Amino acid sequence: MIKVLIVEDDPMVREINEKFLERVEGYQLCGSAHSIEQAKEIALKEKPDLILLDVFFPQGRGVDFLKWIRKEGLKCDVILITADKSIETVEESFRYGAVDYLIKPFRFNRFKQALHQYRKRKYHFEKAGNAEQEMIDRFALNKKQETEAEKDEEIEKIGEIKGFSAHTYEILFKCIREMGGELFTAQEIAEKAGVSRITARRYLDYMEKEGILSIELEYGKVGRPQNRYRLKRK
């Protein structure tokens, strides 16, 4: 199992990243940190293989933490997960050894792709006795043949929400967390979030597909059964 440390100061985003990680085979969460200082303590103690790192923190920058990792000589890799679109930050991150850079908001498929690519690279490097040029080109230049699984992944994207809004997603997720694990309908959460029932239903079904929500059918005396949703707990 690949040990992962998540470093994110926003508790809601941190929880989403944790739930995304649970859905990717071969990875295990070894810690979650809300600050760079806490991340340093966990990194030294747990020695993670991979760190999912935000850029913006109230005290310090994620890239500075990345520089600290290199200075300390820790044998771990880093994927930046941030809203920072600055090309300077992107260049600086790769200069100090980041293996990928995900810009918020991102879809689960992009998250999964980053972890799958990292796992393949790590596996091949650990098993290889010597480095062949073909193997290096495969990962350094991202040369690969499209597999059936990757084709299926592209097909999956067709069913994702058109006009996806990270702001709407976050509002709905916040309202869902406030439900405290209770069952709710699309209409109930729509009224709570101030959006239409149709909009709420689209996002709820998307969250269920991501593995964040579970669905239960409620059968009334007449008519079709009604979907009721619940936030999944670890």
Give the model's pLDDT for residue 167.
79
* Structural domain boundaries enclosing 183: 166-231
Token duo for residue 182? 């209770």
Cis peptide before 225 (omega within 30 of 0): no
Check whether residue 82 and residue 182 sit in a common domain. Answer: no
- DSSP code of 145? P
Last residue of a domain, one of 131, 156, 175: 131
Do residues 22 and 45 touch, judged by C-beta distance below 8 A? no
Last residue of a domain, one of 131, 154, 181: 131
Percentage of residues of the chain with pLDDT beyond 70:
83
Q: What is the CATH classification number for the domain harbouring 205?
A: 1.10.10.10
Check whether residue 121 and residue 177 sit in a common domain. Answer: no
Check whether residue 115 and residue 213 sit in a common domain. Answer: no
Give the model's pLDDT for residue 152.
45
Q: Is residue 147 in a domain?
A: no
Token duo for residue 29? 């969460």
Q: Is residue 144 in a domain?
A: no
Give the model's pLDDT for residue 223.
57
pLDDT tens-place string over residues 71-86: 999 999 999 999 899 9
Question: How many domains is the chain partitioned into structurally?
Answer: 2
Last residue of a domain, one of 131, 157, 189: 131
Give the model's pLDDT for residue 7.
97
Q: Is residue 120 in a domain?
A: yes
Check whether residue 34 and residue 104 sit in a common domain. Answer: yes
Check whether residue 59 and residue 10 sit in a common domain. Answer: yes
Check whether residue 194 and residue 117 sit in a common domain. Answer: no
Q: Is residue 47 in a domain?
A: yes
Check whether residue 202 and residue 121 sit in a common domain. Answer: no
Give the model's pLDDT for residue 143.
55
Q: Is residue 155 in a domain?
A: no
Q: Is residue 136 in a domain?
A: no
Q: What is the CATH classification number for the domain harbouring 102?
A: 3.40.50.2300
Give the model's pLDDT for residue 21.
94
Q: How high is the mean pLDDT in each 10-residue block of the chain (234 residues)?
A: 94 91 92 95 96 92 94 94 92 93 88 91 75 69 50 46 74 88 90 89 87 80 74 75
- Amino acid at site 3: K
Token duo for residue 88? 């300077």
Do residues 79 and 99 touch, judged by C-beta distance below 8 A? yes
Check whether residue 125 and residue 171 sit in a common domain. Answer: no
Q: Is residue 152 in a domain?
A: no
Q: Is residue 173 in a domain?
A: yes
Going through the chain in order, the beta strands assigned E by DSSP cover 2-7, 27-33, 50-53, 77-82, 100-103, 213-218, 226-231
Burial pattern 35-50, b for ≥16 Cβ within 10 A else e, equals bbeebbebbeeeebbb
Check whether residue 45 and residue 106 sit in a common domain. Answer: yes
Check whether residue 126 and residue 188 sit in a common domain. Answer: no
